[in-house]
Structure 1
Amino acid sequence: MSATALSLVLTAAVLHAVWNIAAKRVGGGSYAFVFSYSLLSALLWSPLGIAVLLVSGDGLTRTLLLASLLSGALHIVYGLTLQTGYRKADLSVVYPVARGTGPLITMLFAIVVLADRPGAVAVAGGFVIVAGVAVVASARSADAPQLHAAPAWRGVRWGAATGLAIAAYTLWDDHAMTHLALLPIPYFWLGTAWQAGLMVPGLRGRRAELRYVLRAHWRETLCVALLSPLAYVLVLQAMTTTSVALVAPARESSIVVGSLLAWKLFHEPAPARKFAGAVVVLAGIALIAV
């Protein structure tokens, strides 16, 4: 992985951790929250998306519209699953499990089905990152006896479900970038627009929920609307020059930042073990960068 691609992915990782902290703060109103930040993202990114289309001369092709439609649908599944997990369990369980399951599935699929052939050291780095994620995710009961097994396992289940969604949209978006050769910014902008549009019918009967989110959590909505697209566009840009089997694990370094922020802001337990997991994750990133 080149230094440029690695810097893009690591910047995206920090932004990703920050907006997940904001999402965790929301609690209730999952559907309205996902709709609100999707719509706001589409509006905020529309000038740049349109400008890139005009400058490039590509226009709104059928391929771009259909590919971004599928991406938007997959991101709806991801957003709703993630918010449900955050509502029912700790971020320090859901986040690492989700970010660990996603790259593992993505890497295996990319190697077996897409015929990606990263070097042996880079592949080892991917698995080292996943191992580091596992260390962070397991940093619990010794420092938090008040947390029972059932809530923890509920977080693992929702985290794994979110990981499956992550793998699905990562693989499709990689296909859109590398094989369909779509421009990242218009593609993501249209994806968020589709995401908001597809969710409109589901708002029926949720007016009170929508008002609550806009009144009580407008800061969190703005944070996710700004940082989530920016983080993912950086990842999409990295995918244009680097194998998805390398990008997917490296971006999961966000688990280090996210876990430490969760401990600092939400007083979640076991900081020492999470620091140990961070060291393992960073070692994996170093292997990928070789």
Structure 2
Amino acid sequence: MTPLVLSLVAAGALAHAAWNVTIKRAGTSGPGFLWLTFVLGAVVFAPFGVVSLVSTGVDLSRWAGFALGSGALQVGYFLLLQRGYRAGDVSVVYPLARGTGPLLSVALAVLLLGERPGWPVLLGAVVIVTGVVVIGLAAGRSTGGDRRAGVLYGLGIGVVIAVYTLWDATAVTTGELPVVGLYWGSLLVQVALLAPWALRDRQLVATALAHRVAIPVVGVLAPLAYILVLLAVQLASVSVVAPAREVSVVLVGLAGWLWFREPHPVQRLVGASIVLLGVGVLTVG
């Protein structure tokens, strides 16, 4: 992993952790809130997206196809994640989703993209996923959750993470689409697809508008975090970037302990150490 790729992944992890912590601190979620962040993101990144598309002269029909698939997968991810959190324990859904997602991404990159990662990369990926699961299992259980439902949702969400990672990686590598242009198109699709759920109860949207700090933070940092990851994918293989980006889980886990006084600090620190060890192995590999 080159210093530039490492910097992009690290910056993306910081942005990803920041918007996740912001949502937790605000204590809000739901289609109304998410839709408002998508709208803001689409507006903020519009100038950059349009300029990147015009300057590169991409085939707009090809761009539209990739953007439609990307946006649909992202909306599916958010809706499935929320259903998973309602049906099962967060302590089951979260680690399974964040652990299986990058592991499947590596497997699919080998099978579908023809990547041939060396043993250091594969070892680093496994170590990182192990650390992510250790951190995730440090979360307290919610009450009344169905463990089997949590397992099924966690695995399903992990599959969606792997699929959208491979889809977007293909778009910006083989498809040669500009990263910002692709994800701006994805945001437009997300706005359109989530609108029926968000606007079904306009009172929920009005309530979400009260989060005047959380909406701009999430609306800007969530797309920025993913854009940085896709820029890294253009310079390194999915097998390296997909596991390495999970360092954001370390930051969120530590913030949960230090900021929100969540339990099991020793387990969080052990998991963080394992993830960082895995990133170190990737860097060497």
Same-fold call, TM > 0.5? Answer: yes
Give me the whole-angstrom Cα distance separating, in 2, the residues matched to 1:273 and 1:154: 25
RMSD: 2.4
Give me the whole-angstrom Cα distance separating, in 1, the residues matched to 2:186 and 2:132: 29
Give me the whole-angstrom Cα distance separating, in 2, the residues matched to 1:110 and 1:132: 21
Alignment correspondent of 1:223: 217
Alignment of 1:92-241 (within 5 A): 94-139=93-138, 150=145, 157-215=152-210, 217-241=211-235
Task: Give the number of equivalent residue pairs.
Answer: 284
User: Which moves more between the two structures, 112-121 or 180-189?
Assistant: 112-121
1:98–1:135 CA distance, 2 compared to 1 (3 A): same
Q: Is the Cα contact below 8 Å between 1:16 and 1:227 reproduced in 2?
A: yes
Aligned partner letter, 2:196: P
1:93–1:233 CA distance, 2 compared to 1 (3 A): same
Alignment of 1:4-153 (within 5 A): 4-25=4-25, 27=27, 30-54=30-54, 56-58=55-57, 61-85=60-84, 94-139=93-138, 150=145
Q: Is the Cα contact below 8 Å between 1:27 and 1:87 reproduced in 2?
A: no
Structure 1 unpaired stretches of 5+: none
Aligned partner letter, 1:262: G
Give me the whole-angstrom Cα distance separating, in 2, the residues matched to 1:131 and 1:149: 27
Q: Is the Cα contact below 8 Å between 1:29 and 1:212 reproduced in 2?
A: no
Q: Is the Cα contact below 8 Å between 2:97 and 2:155 reproduced in 1?
A: yes
Q: Is the Cα contact below 8 Å between 2:87 and 2:145 reproduced in 1?
A: no
Q: Is the Cα contact below 8 Å between 2:85 and 2:93 reproduced in 1?
A: yes
Give me the whole-angstrom Cα distance separating, in 2, the residues matched to 1:50 and 1:113: 30
Give me the whole-angstrom Cα distance separating, in 2, the residues matched to 1:213 and 1:148: 26
Identity of aligned residues (%): 39
Structure 2 unpaired stretches of 5+: none
Name the SS of the counterpart of 2:236 in structure 1: coil
Give me the whole-angstrom Cα distance separating, in 1, the residues matched to 2:200 and 2:78: 20
1:73–1:33 CA distance, 2 compared to 1 (3 A): same
**By how many angstroms is 1:152 displaced?**
6.8
Q: Is the Cα contact below 8 Å between 1:125 and 1:284 reproduced in 2?
A: yes
Match status 1:282 vs 2:267: no
**By how many angstroms is 1:164 displaced?**
2.1
1:86–1:27 CA distance, 2 compared to 1 (3 A): farther
Give me the whole-angstrom Cα distance separating, in 2, the residues matched to 1:185 and 1:20: 21
